[in-house]
C-alpha cells in the first residue's frame, strides 16, 4: 500500500511517527522481486510500501524501453569514467541510475537540469522508471530483486510530494533513524546484507556514517541469480592460458563447451557472444572479446550504449567449435562523486537546489557503489548496492578561545579603546 500524503507542504519525520509506521514503513524497505511479484522483505509489517500498481499499469513497454535507454547511455559513460587501465571493474548501471533518479526527484533549477541531462530523464520526476522496474521483475526465469529505501534523520523536514513520488515510482520506504549513531549505521548495513543475499555486507562506513550532519541516506540494491540455459559441464573445466595486458600468459580455470550453439555478432574491434539464462532466454550475458590487435582499455574508450546496442541487434545464432569462458569472481567498489562531477553533475555536490526534496535544502555529499559477481559452470550470481548521502550545511565554524589571546574593550561610536589586554593564562 502507499501512503496518501498532501501534494504540497513538508512534514517532519518525528511529528508523523504513527503515519510513517502505517504507510511509509519503519525499518524495512520494499523489494521488487521476480519470484512472486511485488512483496516486502521478511520482517516487514502490514505497512510495507509497494510500487504503485496504478502508476506502473498506466505506462507502456515503450516507457520502460525509454527509461532503459537512459540507464544504458549513462551506464556506459559511468563505466568508462571509473574504469582504470588494467584494473577489473564491475559497475551496475541500473543501480546507479535508480539511486540518482531518486535524488533527481528532489532537485530543482540548474541542479535538476544537470541530472536530467546526465541520466537521460524526461524531467526530474520521471515516472517511466515505474514501468522499467515493474517490467524487469516481471519474470520467473531468473531471480531478480530490486530494493529502494530512504533513511531520514529524525525531525528533518521533507516535502510530502517528494516522498510520495519516490514511493509510487520506486517503491521506496522511509526509515526514521539517528544517522549520527552507530546503531543506524549497523541497521543500514544489515538492510544491504539481507537484500544482496550476503554478497555485500556493508556500505555505511563507505558513506561516512555515522554522521551527525547526514540528513538522508538513499539506497538501491540489485540482486541477480540466473542459471545458464545450457550449463557448462564441470568436468570440462580446466586451466587454460590467458594473455594479460602486459603480454604475460597465465593459466586460469576455464569452462568449455564443444560444438556449441550460440548467438554472435561483430562490432568495430570486437566480437560479441551472448550466453542466455533460463528457459525463456530473456536475460543473458554478453561477452565482448576485443580483436587480437585491440587492447581492452582502447575498446572501452570507444564503447557506448549505441555501439553495444548495435552489436546486440546484430546477434545471430551460429554453431561454434568451442566456447571457452574463464570462471571468475569479482568484487568492486568506488566513490562516484568525482566521476559524476566530471560527467556534468556538479551542482548537486556544491549547494545546488534541493528544495523540492526539503525546505531545508540539503546537498548531496557522496555517492558510493559496491558490486559483486560470480560466474561459474551453473550460471551467474551478482549484486550491487548504490548509496547516496544528503547532508545539511555544517554551519558557521566554531570560535573556541582555547589558547592565549588578546582582547580590547572599546567604544564603537568614537572607536576609542578603553582597555587592551593579552591573556596567556586565564587562571590569573
CATH code of residue 310: 2.30.39.10
Residue after which a domain boundary falls, among 297, 326, 355: 326
On whether residue 384 sits in a domain, the answer given is: yes
Q: Is the pLDDT of residue 14 over 60?
A: no
Asked whether residue 248 falls in the same domain as residue 300, the answer is yes
How many residues belong to the chain?
A: 428
Question: Residue 61's pLDDT band (boundaries 50, 70, 90)?
Answer: confident
Same domain, 134 and 280: no
Whether residue 28 sits in one domain with residue 131: yes
Task: Say yes or no: 111 and 58 in one domain.
Answer: yes
The Cα–Cα gap between 260 and 265 comes to 15
d(CA 108, CA 119): 15
The DSSP result for 131-166, as a single string, is HHHHHHT--SSSEEEEEEEEEEETT-EEEHHHHHHH
- Specify whether 81 is located in the same domain as 178: yes
What is the extent of the structural domain holding 144?
10-227+329-391
**Average pLDDT for 133-149:** 91
Q: Who has greater pLDDT, 415 or 78?
A: 78
Angle between helices 128-136 and 160-170 (to 10 degrees): 30
- Under the banding of pLDDT at 50, 70 and 90, the label for residue 402 is confident
Compute the mean pLDDT over every residue in the chain, rounded to the nearest whole number.
84
Averaged pLDDT for residues 283-287: 93
Give 19's pLDDT tier (boundaries 50, 70, 90): very low
First to last CA, the chain: 68
Asked if residue 371 and residue 259 are part of one domain, the reply reads no
Say if 1 falls within a structural domain. no
> Among the listed ranges 43-47, 197-201, 326-330, which one has the minimum average pLDDT value?
43-47
Which H helix or E strand runs over 194? helix 182-195
Map grid coordinates 576485443 to a residue. 290
101 lies in the same domain as 209: yes
CATH number at residue 177: 3.30.497.10
pLDDT higher at 21 or 304: 304
Helices (H), 1-108: 17-19, 53-57, 61-82, 93-104
- Which residues are CB-contacts of 152 (< 8 A; sequence separation ≥ 6)? 13, 158, 174, 175, 176, 177, 215, 216
Residue 367 has pLDDT above 50, yes or no: yes
Average pLDDT of the segment spanning 257-282: 93
Q: Is the pLDDT of residue 27 over 60?
A: no
284 within a domain of the structure (yes/no): yes
Same domain as 312, residue 261: yes
Is residue 70 within 8 A of residue 97, CB to CB? The reply is yes
pLDDT band for position 22 (cuts 50, 70, 90): very low
In this structure, what C-alpha cell is assigned to residue 343?
560527467
pLDDT for the residue numbered 125: 96
Number of domains the chain is built from: 2
Q: What is the largest CA-CA distance in the chain?
A: 99
For 194-247, the pLDDT digits (tens) are 999 999 999 999 999 999 999 999 999 999 999 999 999 999 999 999 998 888
207, 258: one domain = no
Same domain, 307 and 209: no
| Cell numbers found for residue 65 | 524501453
Amino acid at each position: 500500500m502507499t501512503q496518501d500524503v498532501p501534494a504540497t507542504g513538508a512534514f517532519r519525520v518525528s511529528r508523523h511517527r504513527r503515519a510513517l509506521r502505517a504507510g511509509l514503513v519503519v525499518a524495512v524497505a520494499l523489494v521488487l522481486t521476480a519470484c512472486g511479484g511485488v512483496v516486502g522483505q521478511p520482517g516487514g509489517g502490514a505497512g510495507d510500501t509497494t510500487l504503485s500498481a496504478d502508476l506502473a499499469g498506466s505506462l507502456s513497454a515503450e516507457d520502460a524501453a525509454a527509461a532503459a535507454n537512459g540507464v544504458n547511455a549513462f551506464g556506459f559513460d559511468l563505466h568508462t569514467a571509473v574504469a582504470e587501465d588494467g584494473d577489473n571493474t564491475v559497475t551496475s548501471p541500473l543501480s546507479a541510475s535508480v539511486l540518482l533518479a531518486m535524488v533527481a526527484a528532489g532537485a530543482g533549477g540548474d541542479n535538476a537540469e544537470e541530472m536530467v541531462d546526465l541520466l537521460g530523464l524526461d524531467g526530474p520526476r520521471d515516472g517511466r522508471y515505474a514501468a522499467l522496474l515493474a517490467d524487469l521483475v516481471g519474470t520467473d526465469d531468473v531471480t531478480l530483486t530490486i530494493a529502494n529505501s530512504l533513511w531520514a534523520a529524525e525531525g528533518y523536514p521533507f516535502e510530502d510530494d517528494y516522498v510520495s513520488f519516490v514511493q509510487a515510482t520506486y517503491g521506496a520506504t522511509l526509515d526514521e533513524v539517528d544517522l549520527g549513531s552507530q546503531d543506524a549505521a549497523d541497521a543500514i548495513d544489515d538492510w544491504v546484507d539481507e537484500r544482496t543475499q550476503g554478497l555485500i555486507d556493508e556500505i555505511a562506513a563507505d558513506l561516512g556514517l555515522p554522521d551527525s550532519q547526514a540528513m538522508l541516506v538513499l539506497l538501491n540494491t540489485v540482486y541477480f541469480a540466473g542459471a545458464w540455459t545450457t550449463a557448462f559441464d564441470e568436468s570440462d573445466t580446466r586451466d587454460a592460458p590467458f594473455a594479460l595486458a602486459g603480454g604475460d600468459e597465465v593459466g586460469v580455470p576455464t569452462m568449455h563447451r564443444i560444438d556449441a550453439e550460440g548467438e554472435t555478432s561483430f562490432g568495430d574491434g570486437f566480437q560479441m557472444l551472448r550466453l542466455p539464462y533460463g528457459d525463456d532466454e530473456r536475460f543473458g550475458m554478453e561477452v565482448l572479446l576485443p580483436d587480437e590487435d585491440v587492447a581492452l582499455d582502447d575498446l572501452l574508450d570507444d564503447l557506448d550504449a549505441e555501439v553495444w546496442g548495435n552489436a546486440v541487434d546484430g546477434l545471430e545464432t551460429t554453431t561454434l567449435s568451442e566456447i571457452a569462458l574463464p570462471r571468475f569472481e569479482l568484487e568492486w567498489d568506488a566513490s562516484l562523486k568525482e566521476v559524476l562531477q566530471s560527467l556534468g553533475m556538479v551542482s548537486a555536490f556544491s549547494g545546488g537546489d534541493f528544495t523540492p526534496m526539503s525546505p531545508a535544502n540539503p546537498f548531496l555529499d557522496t555517492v558510493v557503489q559496491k558490486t559483486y559477481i560470480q560466474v561459474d559452470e551453473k550460471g551467474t550470481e551478482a549484486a550491487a548496492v548504490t548509496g547516496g548521502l544528503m547532508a545539511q550545511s555544517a554551519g558557521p565554524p566554531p570560535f573556541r578561545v582555547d589558547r592565549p589571546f588578546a582582547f580590547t574593550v572599546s567604544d564603537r561610536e568614537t572607536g576609542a579603546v578603553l582597555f587592551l589586554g593579552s591573556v596567556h593564562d586565564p587562571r590569573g
